[in-house]
Structure 1
Amino acid sequence: PGNDDAFKSIEIITKAFGKAIEEGLAQRKVDKEDREREKAEQEKKEVDAQPENQDA
């Protein structure tokens, strides 16, 4: 009888861990997309800054 609350406690803790993991993975995805976008923008700036080849 004293252990009835243990199952509920474990469920609450497990759900909290699961939610934290899901949030962390979602944030990691957003961070990765931001880094990729910044990298693409930087590469575009570098290409745009290069002088055009005028050998024609």
Structure 2
Amino acid sequence: MEIISIARAGQAWAVKHRDGYLGHAKSYEEAAAIGQNLVSWLESEGRRAELVLSEPRSFAAPK
């Protein structure tokens, strides 16, 4: 199974596949959409794939 994941990369979000980064996005939503499109493409090629999303976290102090 091919695993596509989304990870924080400084001020951006990275789309990862195996040990490599496929690209960066400015927002979590954009990275998630890119990851989902990649999963769809892999599946259209007959390869099993899954998108693993990490929840975006805020590092702001709780109110």
Using the size of structure 1 for normalisation, the TM-score is 0.36
The structure with the greater share of residues assigned to strand is 2
For CA contacts below 8 A with separation 6 or more, give which structure has more relative contact order.
Answer: 2
Using the size of structure 2 for normalisation, the TM-score is 0.32
